[in-house]
């Protein structure tokens, strides 16, 4: 969500008004991954809303335990989709966490991670060092898979193009990790006759900062992206986890679309060659389910002949959830476990997933290679 919307939620009446929409029906509970993990009310949307409301109305003083349950929220928005009362959980979460960070400063590790996400050059340099030293690091020092070498050469000509049909949003950690994905996306779009730009000056979408309660940091990132994408006809997001926050940041500046959904609409000229009967697993991130771009992806993949596509069951959030996989590795691993079991049982030779955070988290827990569906599609372009 747009981070500059957060300050108006800081006052208790605004948070209480948002929380008041909850009629406590409990329909969201079975859909909430943290409730499914723990089975306790305080780890459910209803429990979190009640806690925020109790503080906002002065019924309760904030407690460490209550704050922790709030911090465990993954921001997956699965509860919003099923809520009959229209509760805006993400808005409530951002407001509550912003308020929380004002009374209790963010942990040093959270501030350090957010600072890195806001500095793509430094992040890229550190990930380069991580790649070089990966083989000598112990398992506890490998929170992310090894970044690929990638190649920027293949899309260097796309940078700064003024007359482009679409502009690509790069993001933060996806910068070094998605180099080949962006090259694949450009290849696919150029095959449709479209031209692609990668505007400079862009950065992180700010969702991680907003969810952590750093409203000012999130707004700085939003402002930089508004400037970088001003005048673009359409901005494409390769990461489903960034799309919603980016769209809110760029509201009134440029429309933001899911790269796969946009490609599917313009994919008539594309032809794909046979996958040779390969068994490939498909993971649908929470954000892709919420944004309902999963059907477009299924339609695109269905155009690859002889593909044995195995859609993994919806076991709930994989546990990545932005900084959650780094801040709460044990919980993140527990949330991921059922998905990894289903992946192993599928017999698939690779896994496709459209969100960078999910791919990093899943890739770190499995020997089965994980990549973006765009790379698979580009590889099978006839």
| Site residues for ligand SF4 per CB under 6 A | 22-28, 32-34, 45-46, 48-49, 73-79, 83, 85, 87, 89
C-beta of 148 vs 338, nearer to ligand SF4: 338
DSSP letter, residue 316: S
Shortest reach from residue 344's CB to ligand SF4, in Å: 25
**Residue 347 beta carbon to ligand SF4: minimum distance, rounded to whole angstroms:** 30
Minimum distance between the CB of residue 29 and ligand SF4, rounded to whole angstroms? 7
What tokens appear for 220 in the block? Answer: 């700085």
Closest CB to ligand SF4 among 81 and 146? Answer: 81
Nearer to ligand SF4, 90 or 257 (CB): 90
What whole-number distance in Å separates Cα of residue 101 and Cα of residue 97? 6
Tell me whether residue 44 or residue 293 sits nearer to ligand SF4 (CB atom): 44
> Shortest distance, CB of residue 247 to ligand SF4, whole angstroms?
18
Rounded least distance, CB 76 to ligand SF4, Å: 4
CA nearest to 299, candidates 313, 282, 322:
282
How many CB atoms neighbour CB 29 within 10 A? 18
**150 CA to centre of own chain:** 21
R_g (Cα) of the chain, nearest Å:
21
Q: How far is the CB of 192 from ligand SF4 (least distance, A)?
A: 35
Q: Measured from the CB atom, is 74 or 332 closer to ligand SF4? A: 74
- What is the C-alpha separation between 46 and 44, in angstroms, rounded? 5
Return the number of the residue (45 or 175) whose C-beta is nearest ligand SF4. Answer: 45
Give 129's contacts (C-beta < 8 A, 6+ positions apart).
none
The least CB distance from residue 46 to ligand SF4, in Å, is: 4
CA distances, 348 to each of 272, 309, 310, 370 (Å)? 20, 9, 8, 11
Closer CB to ligand SF4, 23 or 125, in the complex: 23
Give 44 or 165: the residue with its C-beta nearer to ligand SF4. Answer: 44
Check if the beta carbon of residue 20 is closer than 8 Å to that of residue 29.
no
197 pairs with which residues across the strands? 167
Q: How far is the CB of 85 from ligand SF4 (least distance, A)?
A: 4
The β-bridge partners of 370 are 351
With CA atoms as reference, report the closest residue to 88 among 20, 138, 13, 32: 20
Report the nearest approach of ligand SF4 to the CB of residue 317 (Å).
Answer: 7
Q: Which is nearer to ligand SF4, 26 or 105 (CB)?
A: 26
Strands across the sheet with 235-237, in order? Answer: 196-197, 166-169, 235-237, 256-258
Q: Could you give the CA distance from residue 233 to residue 221 in angstroms, rounded to a whole number?
A: 20
Q: Which residues are CB-neighbours of 131 under 8 A, at least 6 positions away? A: 146, 147, 149
Beta carbon nearer to ligand SF4, 74 or 166: 74
The answer to whether 79 and 34 are in contact (CB under 8 A) is: no
Smallest distance, Å, CB 258 to ligand SF4? 20
**Cβ atoms of 1 and 93 closer than 8 Å:** no
CA–CA gap between residue 58 and residue 155 (Å, rounded): 55
Token pair in block for residue 81 = 């989709």
Backbone angles phi, psi at 219, to 5 degrees: -70, -35
């Amino acid at each position: 969500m747009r981070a500059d919307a957060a300050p108006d939620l800081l006052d208790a009446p605004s948070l209480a008004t948002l929380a008041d929409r909850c009629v406590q029906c409990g329909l969201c509970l079975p859909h909430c991954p943290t409730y499914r993990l723990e089975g306790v009310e305080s780890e459910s949307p209803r429990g979190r809303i009640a806690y925020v409301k109790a503080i906002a109305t002065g019924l309760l003083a904030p407690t460490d335990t209550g704050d922790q349950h709030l911090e465990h929220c993954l921001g997956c928005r699965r509860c919003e989709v099923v809520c009959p009362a229209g509760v805006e959980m993400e808005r409530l979460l951002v407001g509550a966490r912003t308020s929380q960070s004002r009374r209790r400063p963010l942990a040093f590790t959270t501030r350090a991670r957010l600072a890195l996400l806001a500095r793509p050059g430094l992040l890229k340099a550190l990930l380069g060092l991580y790649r070089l030293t990966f083989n000598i690091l112990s398992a506890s020092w490998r929170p992310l898979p090894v970044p690929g070498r990638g190649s920027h050469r293949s899309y260097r000509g796309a940078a700064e193009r003024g007359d482009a049909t679409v502009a690509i949003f790069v993001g933060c950690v996806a910068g070094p990790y998605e180099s080949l994905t962006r090259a694949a996306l450009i290849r696919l779009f150029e095959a449709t006759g479209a031209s692609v730009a990668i505007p400079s000056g862009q950065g992180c979408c700010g969702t991680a900062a907003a969810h952590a309660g750093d409203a000012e940091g999130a707004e700085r990132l939003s402002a930089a992206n508004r400037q970088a994408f001003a005048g673009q006809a359409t901005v494409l997001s390769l990461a489903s986890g960034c799309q919603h926050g980016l769209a809110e940041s760029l509201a009134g500046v440029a429309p933001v679309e899911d790269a796969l959904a946009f490609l599917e609409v313009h994919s008539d000229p594309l032809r794909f060659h046979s996958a040779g009967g390969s068994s490939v697993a498909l993971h649908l991130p929470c954000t892709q389910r919420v944004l309902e771009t999963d059907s477009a992806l299924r339609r695109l993949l269905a155009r690859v002949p002889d593909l044995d596509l195995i859609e993994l069951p919806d076991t709930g959030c994989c546990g990545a959830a932005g900084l959650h996989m780094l801040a709460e590795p044990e919980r993140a691993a527990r949330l991921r476990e059922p998905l990894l079991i289903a992946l192993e049982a599928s017999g698939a030779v690779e896994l496709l997933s459209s969100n960078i955070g999910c791919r990093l988290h899943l890739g770190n827990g499995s020997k089965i290679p994980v990549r973006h569906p765009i790379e698979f599609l580009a590889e099978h372009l006839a």
